[in-house]
Chains A and B, each alone.
Chain A
Amino acid sequence: DAKTTQPNSMESNEEEPVHLPCNHSTISGTDYIHWYRQLPSQGPEYVIHGLTSNVNNRMASLAIAEDRKSSTLILHRATLRDAAVYYCILRTYSGAGSYQLTFGKGTKLSVIP
């Protein structure tokens, strides 16, 4: 199974950019890179996803290495509401036309006022 590796925790100062790294050295050509985050006492929420090219949306940016073995989620300006556990996930093909969504341990982001 394709897996991801993330730091257990990171800290950021409020209003500064945050770069959350993820390694996925066993990624295959059909695997999509997804990021979700989970705020305390809530279900996970989708942040962003990509396949090969860098992606931007209203929440964040996703930078994908050329060899796709790593990626970085970028929060351009951290706020206190961004304090959460961030999960980097590979959406991997599991047969029968479906893609798994398997979570790892994630990175706990703390934002310092």
Chain B
Amino acid sequence: GAGVSQSPSNKVTEKGKDVELRCDPISGHTALYWYRQSLGQGLEFLIYFQGNSAPDKSGLPSDRFSAERTGGSVSTLTIQRTQQEDSAVYLCASSLGAQGRTEAFFGQGTRLTVV
């Protein structure tokens, strides 16, 4: 009965390097969401997956950000050529479906620090 798992929990990277953040959703959950939370701020929506497709990528801040999901399960968020303003906690959530009545379950997040 594992919840949403994210790895790594912490990542420190040098400016300009690429990073990959992983999300393992709850088994059977078809909907998967990525959010970003800067220090002291609310959650900023990045991208939403239904199965392996991403009908809503509207929140990705630039073309340095991309995400994929394979097998309707694990998702990877990739940030290329990281910048200091990318430093934040990246949160993943999954839900059984994407209907209005379904609740989302969140992981503990990956804290990314770009130095």
For chain A, the count of residues having a C-beta within 8 Å of the partner chain is: 29
Given contacts A96-B55, A98-B48, A98-B50, is CB(A31)–CB(B100) below 8 Å?
yes
Q: Shortest beta-carbon distance, A50 to chain B, in Å?
A: 9
Chain B interface (Cβ < 8 Å from any Cβ of A): 4, 31, 33, 35, 42-45, 48, 50, 55-56, 91, 93, 98-109
A98 & B106 in contact (Cβ 8 Å cutoff): no
Q: Are A100 and B56 in contact (CB under 8 A)?
A: yes
Given contacts A97-B50, A101-B33, contact A44 B98 (CB under 8 A): no
B99: which of A45, A99, A102 is its contact (CB, 8 Å)?
Answer: A99
12 additional A-B pairs beyond A96-B50, A99-B98, A100-B45, beta carbons within 8 Å, are A30-B100, A32-B100, A42-B108, A43-B4, A43-B108, A44-B106, A46-B105, A49-B103, A51-B100, A51-B101, A96-B56, A101-B104
Neighbouring A residues of B108 by C-beta, 8 Å: 42-43
Check: A34 CB closer than 8 A to any chain B CB. Answer: yes
Could you list 20 A-B pairs, sorted by A, with CB under 8 Å? A43-B107, A43-B108, A44-B43, A44-B91, A46-B105, A87-B43, A91-B100, A91-B101, A94-B56, A96-B50, A96-B56, A98-B31, A98-B98, A100-B45, A100-B56, A101-B45, A101-B104, A103-B35, A103-B42, A106-B42
Residue of B nearest to A42 (CB): B108
Find out whether the CB atom of B100 lies under 8 angstroms from the CB atom of A43.
Answer: no
A105 within 8 A of B: yes
Return chain A residues, CB-CB under 8 Å to B104: 36, 46, 101
- Is A98 a contact of B56 with CB atoms below 8 Å? yes
